[in-house]
């Protein structure tokens, strides 16, 4: 039967990767397929084999042809995790995850941090004040560009130098996006930096932030040193709306934030170049020590899939996935990391059934 005319299907490339990545991604795909079957979104999912197994059997990390396919033939990528002890230098991981981030210019690493079940937070204040903020992490520069050198290797005078790079172009676009995101939502924007100790790079961040803040007089804004901000994330996390920061500081702060909202098993993320491409992945790693045990938590992968849907206008489907995760938490359908006894597949199946049922 010919397909009815309408908007094109959302084309999603699925890369499970390593460790528990394929396990949690499988459950996220189950939820996506349930949303499609319920008529909430028109989706086309295509799986790719790339990861350590593929690399060890073929020698390929990510070929130019595969990269071109991912770039040109798909709207977004749903990613699992990378990291495998059989590849100690992590070559395949660099090409896959970091390579896709850089080559697709996914300059925003957006990490929503929402406490969905107060009892899962280690903070005493969690039951009395909502925790729901986002971190906009610059994703292409900073210390992660890999610029540096080793001098006098193997001698008592050995010196390691790593250089951090910040350009006005990159700082401007991430800060501007943070304000654009915050403005319609009535959120405060906070810059996290360490300008008192690293004045050259973070001085640039402060100048750009001040210039853009002046363009948004209706948006509350502030600049905070990262150490003080980290303490406030623990003491009064409810005060934050959007935190924007550099690559390294964003990496650290978002992992801290994940812990205060229940751990990495509940923390999704999006690597995006708005209107161009996006890669969506749970914050947790590949966890090789629990592969095949059924203990991996698929909720962060499902929430990452919901982010993907929302960024591409499939609001009803995104609401269904997030609502199903919230319902599972409320009913106690949980993996061991968050106090439950269900397996990865059992949690994934429950979420998919909930999505398919259309229950609020």
Active site residue 193: no
**Catalytic residue (one of 55, 144, 193, 311):** 144
* Residue 8, Ramachandran bin (φ over 0: left; ψ between -120 and 50: alpha; else beta): beta
State yes or no: pLDDT of 110 exceeds 70.
Answer: yes
The whole-number pLDDT of residue 1 equals 36
72 in catalytic set: no
Helix (H) or strand (E) holding 80: strand 76-81
DSSP of 159-199, one letter per residue? EEEEEEE--HHHHHHHHHHHHHHHGGGT--EEEEE-TTTSH
For the chain, what percent of residues have pLDDT higher than 90?
Answer: 87
Q: Are 294 and 344 in contact (CB under 8 A)?
A: yes
Q: Is the pLDDT of residue 4 over 70?
A: no
Residue 60 has pLDDT above 60, yes or no: yes
Residues 6+ away with beta carbon under 8 Å from 209:
175, 191, 221, 223, 244
Candidate list 132, 255, 319, 326, residue with the active-site label: 255
**CA 144/CA 137 separation, integer angstroms:** 12
Please check the confidence at residue 7 and state whether its pLDDT lies above 80.
Answer: no
In the chain, the largest separation of any two C-alpha atoms, in whole Å, equals 74
Give the pLDDT score at 298. Answer: 98
Q: What is the pLDDT of residue 360?
A: 55
For residues 324-345, average pLDDT: 97
> What is the secondary structure of 275-344 as a DSSP string?
TTEEEEEESS---GGGTTTT----HHHHHHHHHHHHHTT-HHHHHHHHHHHHHHHHHT---GGGT----H
CB burial string 144-160: b at 16+ within 10 A, e below = beeeeeeeeeeeeeeee
pLDDT at 3: 44
Please return the burial class of 176, using the count of CB atoms within 10 Å of its CB with bins 0-12, 13-18 and 19+: middle
Per-residue model confidence (pLDDT) at position 78? 98
**In this prediction, what percent of the chain has a pLDDT beyond 70?**
98
pLDDT band at 359 (very low <50, low <70, confident <90, very high): low
How far is residue 280 from each of residues 23, 54, 64, 308, measured CA to CA in Å?
16, 21, 21, 6
pLDDT for 126: 79
Q: Is 99 a residue whose pLDDT tops 90?
A: no
- The 10s digit of each residue's pLDDT in 153-195 is 999 999 999 999 999 999 999 999 999 999 999 999 999 999 9
Q: Tell me, what's the pLDDT at 2? A: 42
CA dist 257 and 235 (Å) reads: 12
Query: Which residue in this structure is represented by tokens 């978002």?
Result: 254
Confidence check: pLDDT of 116 > 60: yes
Mean pLDDT for all residues in the chain: 94
CB burial of residue 316 (10 Å; 0-12, 13-18, 19+): middle
Catalytic residue among 194, 216, 225, 319: 194
Mean pLDDT of 107-118: 96
pTM of the model as a whole: 0.93
Which one is catalytic: 84, 95, 251, 337?
A: 251
pLDDT at 289: 94
Question: What does the pLDDT look like over 246-281, one tens digit per residue?
Answer: 999 999 999 999 999 999 999 999 999 999 999 999
Query: Does the annotation count 124 as an active-site position?
Result: no
3-state DSSP call for residue 12? strand
Distance of CA 299 to the CA centre of its chain: 13
Check residue 128 and give its pLDDT: 79
pLDDT at 8: 84
pLDDT band at 6 (very low <50, low <70, confident <90, very high): low
Q: Please tell me the distance from the alpha carbon of residue 222 to that of residue 210, in angstroms, as a whole number.
A: 9
Active site residue 73: no
Residues in the chain: 360
227 catalytically annotated: yes
């Amino acid at each position: 039967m010919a397909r009815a005319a309408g908007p094109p299907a959302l084309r999603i490339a699925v890369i499970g990767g390593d460790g528990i990545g394929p396990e949690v991604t499988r459950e996220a795909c189950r939820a996506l397929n349930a949303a499609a079957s319920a008529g909430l979104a028109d989706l086309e999912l295509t799986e790719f084999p790339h990861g350590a197994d593929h690399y060890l059997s073929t020698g390929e990390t990510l070929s130019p042809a595969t990269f071109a396919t991912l770039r040109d033939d798909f709207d977004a990528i749903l990613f699992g995790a990378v990291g495998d002890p059989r590849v100690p230098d992590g070559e395949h991981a660099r090409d896959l995850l970091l390579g896709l981030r850089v080559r697709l210019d996914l300059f925003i690493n957006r990490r929503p941090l929402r406490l969905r079940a107060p009892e899962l937070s280690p903070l005493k204040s969690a039951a009395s004040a909502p925790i729901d903020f986002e971190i906009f992490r610059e994703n292409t520069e900073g210390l992660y560009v890999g610029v540096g050198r080793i001098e006098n290797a193997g001698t008592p005078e050995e010196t390691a130098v790593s250089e951090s790079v910040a350009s006005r172009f990159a700082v401007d676009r991430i800060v501007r996006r943070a304000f654009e995101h915050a403005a319609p939502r009535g959120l405060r924007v906070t810059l996290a930096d360490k300008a008192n100790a690293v004045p050259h790079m973070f001085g640039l961040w402060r100048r750009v932030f001040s210039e853009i803040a002046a363009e948004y007089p209706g948006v509350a804004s502030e600049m905070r040193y990262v150490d003080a901000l980290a303490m406030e994330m623990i003491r009064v996390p409810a005060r934050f709306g959007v935190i924007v920061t550099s690559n390294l500081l964003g990496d650290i702060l978002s992992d801290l934030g994940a812990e205060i909202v229940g751990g990495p098993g509940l923390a999704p993320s999006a690597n995006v170049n708005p209107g161009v491409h996006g890669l969506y992945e749970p914050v947790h790693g590949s966890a090789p020590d629990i592969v095949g045990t059924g203990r991996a938590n698929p909720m962060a992968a499902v929430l990452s899939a919901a982010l993907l849907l929302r960024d591409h206008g499939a609001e009803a489907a995104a609401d269904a996935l997030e609502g199903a995760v919230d319902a599972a938490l409320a009913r106690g359908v949980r993996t061991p990391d968050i106090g439950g006894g269900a397996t990865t597949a059992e949690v994934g199946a429950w979420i998919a059934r909930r999505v398919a049922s259309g229950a609020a």
